[in-house]
């Protein structure tokens, strides 16, 4: 899985999404920016070896666009990227996207408005856990003496299925 960030600045390096996404949404520029990112990501991904997939984040403004499904269909046709190699990072589901065969990922799970309820309500192909959430857990474990760490719970094992009679 490869994720395609559209937040690289030529002189400032990587820019945090919160520094430009709200402004792009307010001005309506998020739709053409998102369309460009989708075209570029699919054009790049079609040259990658299979089974590599590309993940493109969608904003809520893009999700509300009545042209989004047609745009995705056109980009997939234009780039000849198989729909199964494209997935969207989003916080809501689009049944029409699933019907196209596009994979769905819950992006930046952990902080903010993400919750376990999303995992119950929506069917995602991938769960992308936010780096800050994982780093918090790593830091917490590093500060805890090994002898004080709780044992990790394990899932109960199901009994092995009985062998079929011969």
The domain spanning residue 89 has which CATH number? 3.20.20.450
Which pLDDT does position 38 carry in this prediction?
Answer: 94
Whose structure tokens read 């800050």? 132
pLDDT at 40: 94
Q: Given this model, what pLDDT does residue 139 score?
A: 82
pLDDT digits (tens, 9 = 90+) for 52-85: 989 888 877 787 788 898 999 999 999 999 998 9
Query: Which residues are CB-neighbours of 117 under 8 A, at least 6 positions away?
Result: none
Instruction: Quote the domain boundaries for residue 59.
Output: 2-132
- Number of C-beta neighbours around residue 82 at 10 A: 14
Q: Is residue 113 a contact partner of residue 91, using CB atoms and an 8 Å limit?
A: yes
* Host H or E run for residue 88: strand 86-90
3-state secondary structure of 92: coil
Taking CA 61 as the corner, what is the angle to CA 48 and CA 78, rounded to the nearest 5 degrees?
35
Number of domains in the chain: 1
Residue 3: beta bridge partners? 55
Residue ranges of the chain whose pLDDT lies below 50: 1-4, 91-93, 113, 163, 166
Residue 151 lies in a domain: no
Radius of gyration of the chain (CA): 20
Output the pLDDT for position 166: 46
In a domain, 139, yes or no: no
Distance CA 96, CA 60 (A): 16
Does any domain span residue 149?
no
What SS3 class is residue 50? coil
Give the closest residue to 98 by CA, choosing from 125, 71, 70. Answer: 125
pLDDT at 4: 46
């Amino acid at each position: 899985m490869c994720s395609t960030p559209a937040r690289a600045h030529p002189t400032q390096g990587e820019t945090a999404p919160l520094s430009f996404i709200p402004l792009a949404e307010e001005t309506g520029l998020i739709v053409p920016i998102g369309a460009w990112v989708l075209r570029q990501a699919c054009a790049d991904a079609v040259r990658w070896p299979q089974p590599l997939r590309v993940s493109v984040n969608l904003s809520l403004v893009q999700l509300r666009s009545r042209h989004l499904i047609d745009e995705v269909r056109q980009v997939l046709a234009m780039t000849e990227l198989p729909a199964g190699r494209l997935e969207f990072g989003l916080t809501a589901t689009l049944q029409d996207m699933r019907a196209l065969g596009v994979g769905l990922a819950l992006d930046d799970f952990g902080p903010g408005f993400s919750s376990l309820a999303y995992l119950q309500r929506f069917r995602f192909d991938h769960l992308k856990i936010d780096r800050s959430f994982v780093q918090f857990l790593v830091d917490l474990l590093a500060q805890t003496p090994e002898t004080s760490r709780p044992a990790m719970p394990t899932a109960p094992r199901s009994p092995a299925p009985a062998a079929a009679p011969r």
